[in-house]
């Protein structure tokens, strides 16, 4: 980089948002690059293996930078690649400033992020700071003595006070306290016993975290996804919770008032000093909770990431399109004036998009995945797309508990046994909704192991890779992949789909999700048939329109006659009205 380029880089990294925000072409004073972005999530150990050890790595991502650019995405979020014993696939960090050798070296990270920035792609770091690994030096020191300066980096219950009050663990059926003999005390762990919770009530701990964020921002990181962050503040008076409270987990464990003070401190110390954004996993119990996290006047976070819609598909029972529409509509209405939303239907903690919200059958997999990607990229909010969903990758059959690597799956299995559950029913549900379905290796081509590795993959490749892969779909103009690329172009060239007003049409229709987006003199009509049958609809908004108004369509044509049209199975089309 020449001297002028270096100065520009330094200016970009250190300029406060209020002084030189990245204002996009909409001319909207509230424009931000992260609002107009299209985010693509990579699960790094499943994306591309460059060295044959069976695990995806940073050099594998580097090898596929041109592919990422070709998708039209503008932001990449990657799951953790820090130093870690990998008890929870990297969400147990033992060194926040080091990269696990399995993924590569710091030089590889620097090369990767430089390559992304060269291609106009921002990078979002997964920040895991509700807890650390038990192998982190902080915890190793904390276990040695109550006099250790690191003892108060964690939450402890002295054993001389008797048994600690029950706290539920999301991964451990035995609860969230674990005894340590050397200090004669129990430590708290929201997840596995290998992931002790950090004590955010301690200002020294908070300073450590903010310094870590600055470390990565200075290396070019453009944003942070804060893992499990709504749980970081604990009531350290440790009151007894009522029996069965864990059924309302967020109510009892999340969104304590102190959280906002911590986020305001984070904003002042880090977020306001770089052109970055931060989004926390979860938004609490209400719209008020969500707005208190992300409204610009709060000086806390920049984007809300809620789970209401994704939770609609957590069981084998088919979700209701009415509930789906109502959930997205009420969240949009709540954020019309202030705040910003993430729009997503898939991530590393859920099964595959098309299995849960579309139709994975051979007949309808392509069109239903195209419909879902059209929906995600036509809503107000920043769309989050998950690797493999640009191909329509599907769930993999895992009928036996021995098929699962994930510690969460085994924890759920043990809890079901303890509760004397119907284990056949449990396994059927697990096979459908396990997050391992969303972690199978990326399907690049029809060679061995789908071109993911020339070694033995860490996780079994879905056998359908012979029919679902990048190489095949690149050649097919009607593929999920090429439709995805068209849709990213549509979103980037029509800012009405980013900032425009959203209005729901046909709210009670059981098969069709129809809505408009309008900004100034531009108006779009989005029609989505969420069923496997033809559906006739009549809308005043269709009057005067024809196939010439079509902006994108996953079928060859749309026939509009006298304000009505018949949508084909899983047809998704966007029409320009004004």
Residues with catalytic annotation?
A: 227, 281
Counting other chains too, the contacts that 63-71 makes at CB distance below 8 Å and 24 or more residues apart are: 65/112, 65/115, 65/116, 65/119, 65/121, 66/119, 67/470, 68/40, 68/116, 68/119, 68/121, 69/119, 69/120, 69/121, 70/485, 71/40, 71/390, 71/484, 71/485, 71/488
From the list 535, 531, 532, 530, the residue with the least C-alpha distance to 558 is: 535
Q: 520 with 539: CB under 8 angstroms? A: no
Show Cβ contacts of residue 392 under 8 Å, excluding neighbours closer than 6 positions. 354, 365, 366, 369, 468, 480
Q: How far is CA 73 from CA 69, 99, 116, 389, 548, in A?
A: 7, 25, 11, 13, 27
- Those residues with Cβ within 8 angstroms of residue 492's Cβ, 6 or more apart along the chain or in another chain: 36, 38, 72, 74
Return phi, psi of residue 411, to 5°: -65, -45
Write the DSSP string, 154-174: B-EEEGGG-SPPP---SS-TT
Tokens standing for 393?
């990758």
**Which residues share a beta bridge with 523?**
518
């Amino acid at each position: 980089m020449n001297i002028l380029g270096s100065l520009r880089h330094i200016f970009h990294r250190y300029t406060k948002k209020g002084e030189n925000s990245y204002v996009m072409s909409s001319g909207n004073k509230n424009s931000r690059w992260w609002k107009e972005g299209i985010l693509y999530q990579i699960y790094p150990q499943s994306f591309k293996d460059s060295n044959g050890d069976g695990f995806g790595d940073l050099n594998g991502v580097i090898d596929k930078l041109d592919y990422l650019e070709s998708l039209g995405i503008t932001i990449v979020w990657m799951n953790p690649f820090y130093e870690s014993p990998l008890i929870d696939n990297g969400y147990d960090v033992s060194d926040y400033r080091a990269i696990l050798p399995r993924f590569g070296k710091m030089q590889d990270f620097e090369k990767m992020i430089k390559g992304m920035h060269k291609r106009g792609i921002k990078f979002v770091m997964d920040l895991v700071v509700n807890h650390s690994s038990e192998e982190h030096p902080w915890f190793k020191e904390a276990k040695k003595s109550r006099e250790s300066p690191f003892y108060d980096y964690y939450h402890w219950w002295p054993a001389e006070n008797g048994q600690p009050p029950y706290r539920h663990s999301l991964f451990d059926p035995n609860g969230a306290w674990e005894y340590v003999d050397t200090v004669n005390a129990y430590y708290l762990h929201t997840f596995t016993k290998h992931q002790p919770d950090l004590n955010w009530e301690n200002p020294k701990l908070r300073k450590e975290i903010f310094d870590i964020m600055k470390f990565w921002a200075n290396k070019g990181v453009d944003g942070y996804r804060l893992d499990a962050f709504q749980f970081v503040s604990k009531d350290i008076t440790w009151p007894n919770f009522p029996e069965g409270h864990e059924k309302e987990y967020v109510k009892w464990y999340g969104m304590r008032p102190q959280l906002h003070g911590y986020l305001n401190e984070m904003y002042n110390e880090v977020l306001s000093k770089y052109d970055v954004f931060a989004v926390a996993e979860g938004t609490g119990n209400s719209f008020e909770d969500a707005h208190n996290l992300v409204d610009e006047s709060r000086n806390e976070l920049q984007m809300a990431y809620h789970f209401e819609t994704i939770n609609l598909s957590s069981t084998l029972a088919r979700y209701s399109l009415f509930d789906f529409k109502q959930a997205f509509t009420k969240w949009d209405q709540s954020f019309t004036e202030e705040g910003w939303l993430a729009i997503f239907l898939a991530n590393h903690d859920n099964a595959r998009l098309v299995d849960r919200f579309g139709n994975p059958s051979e007949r309808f997999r392509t069109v239903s995945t195209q419909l879902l990607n059209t929906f995600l990229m036509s809503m107000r909010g920043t769309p989050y797309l998950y690797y493999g969903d640009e191909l329509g990758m599907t769930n993999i059959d895992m009928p036996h508990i021995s098929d699962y690597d994930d510690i969460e799956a085994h924890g759920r299995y043990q809890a079901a046994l303890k509760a004397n559950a119907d284990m056949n029913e449990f396994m059927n549900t697990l096979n459908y909704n396990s997050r391992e379905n969303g972690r199978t290796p990326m399907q690049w081509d029809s060679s061995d192991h789908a071109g993911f590795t020339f070694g033995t993959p860490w996780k079994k490749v879905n056998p359908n890779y012979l029919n679902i892969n990048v190489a095949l779909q690149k050649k097919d103009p009607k593929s999920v992949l090429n439709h995805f690329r068209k849709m990213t172009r549509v979103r980037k060239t029509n800012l009405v789909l980013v900032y425009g007003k959203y209005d729901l049409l046909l709210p009670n229709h059981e098969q069709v999700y129809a809505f408009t987006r309008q900004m100034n003199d531009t108006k779009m009509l989005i029609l989505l048939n969420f069923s496997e049958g033809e559906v006739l609809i009549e809308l005043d908004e269709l009057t005067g329109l024809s196939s010439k108004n079509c902006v994108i369509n996953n079928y060859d044509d749309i026939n509009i006659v006298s304000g009505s049209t018949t949508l084909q199975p899983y047809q998704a089309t966007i029409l320009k009205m004004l």
